[in-house]
Structures are given as structure tokens and as C-alpha cells.
Amino acid sequence: MATNYLGKSMADDVHSIYERLYKVLCVHTKLNMLAMTTLQSMGYNGFKRWHRYRSRQFFEMKLRLRNELYDKFRITADFKDVDISYSPSSMEEHLESWDGVLLEAIQELGTVCKDYYELAGVNCDIAKCAMHKMMRDYEKVGRYLKRFTESDWLTLDMHIVDDALHCKYKAKEEEHGYKY
């Protein structure tokens, strides 16, 4: 590990913080990819697009994180990807699980932001960006859980939401040059 202008201890601390952030981004890139496939197989193409869009965003953040670690601290990222599995059998199981996964990630990102600020004296923009996206998703998932529970998980209601998500994320993907 390079320590051009950082002491060994500080370089280790920086590396550790970035590694924790990388793990959160890696997990959410893969979870979104797995959720995308699972929900597509259930017939929810709007939710599929939502997860595909998020997967790309987190993947791009992983790339930015690697570049930033070197550009700001001259430390080469040697992070390992994680292996995970995710296979809910229903929309209800997916949303309940997703709610917990998001909350856990938001809490970890909050700790990363705090540790980064204490070490560097500035905010960690990548962690803040990821946390913002996850907070919005956490709010949405909470609303979906409430709505679908109140409708007794009526398939028609879930597909109404799914159709709206499909239109929204199709437009977002096209806006970013993603064609399917």
C-alpha cells in the first residue's frame, strides 16, 4: 500500500474506510442485479427496471471509489467483491427483505461518513450519494409495504405500481443512453 504523503496508520485507516464503503456498494450492486432477475421472473418489469437502474448506479460508484482512493490518497484499491445470494419467492418477501437490507446499509454508510469526516475533515461524497439513493428507496419500500399490505397484496395493485415504475425507469434509462 502506497503511503506517499500519508503515514502508515492513516493510510490503513483510509483504506479500511474505503473498503467498508466498497463492500456496501458491491453488495448493493449484486443485490440489485439479483433482485432484477428475480422480479422479472415474477412478471414485474417495472421493479426489474428499478433494480437494474440502481445496479448501474452502484456499479458506477464502485468505479468512482477506486479512482478517488488513488487520486486523493495514492492508495491502490485491492478490494475483493463479495458473493451473495438473494431469491425471494414473492413480492411481499422481496419488499420486507429489501426494507431490512436498505436500513442496514444506510446505518453502515452513516458510520462510514462519520469515520471519513473524522479522518479527512471533509464529507465522503460517494457515501453521501449512495446513502441518499438508499434513503429514497427505503422511503419508497416503506410506502409499498403499507400500500400492498392494505390492499392485501392484491396482484392488480402491485402491477399498477409496477407499470408506473416501468414507465419512469424506462425514461430514466433512455435519458442516460441505456437502450433495450
List, for residues 29-55, the tens digit of each pLDDT value. 999 999 999 999 999 999 999 999 999
E-strand ranges in the chain read: none
The CATH code of the domain that includes 73 is 1.20.1260.10
> What total number of domains does the chain contain?
1
**Average pLDDT for residues 97-125, to the nearest whole number?**
95
Q: Using an 8 Å Cβ cutoff, are 170 and 47 in contact?
A: no
Q: Does residue 179 have a pLDDT over 90?
A: no
Q: Using an 8 Å Cβ cutoff, are 58 and 130 in contact?
A: yes
**pLDDT at residue number 180:** 62
Locate 135 and state its grid cell: 434513503
Would you state the torsion angle of the CA atoms of residues 12, 17, 23, 25, taken in this order, to the nearest 10 degrees? -140
Residue 54 forms part of a structural domain: yes
Q: Does residue 99 have a pLDDT over 90?
A: yes
Residue 113 forms part of a structural domain: yes
**pLDDT at residue number 7:** 64
Residue 112 forms part of a structural domain: yes
Mean of the per-residue pLDDT values of the chain? 93
> What count of Cα atoms within 13 Å lies in the side-chain half-sphere of residue 156?
1
Q: Range of 51's domain?
A: 8-175
- The phi, psi pair for 84, rounded to 5°, reads -140, 165
Residue 3 forms part of a structural domain: no
pLDDT digits (tens, 9 = 90+) for 17-26: 999 999 999 9
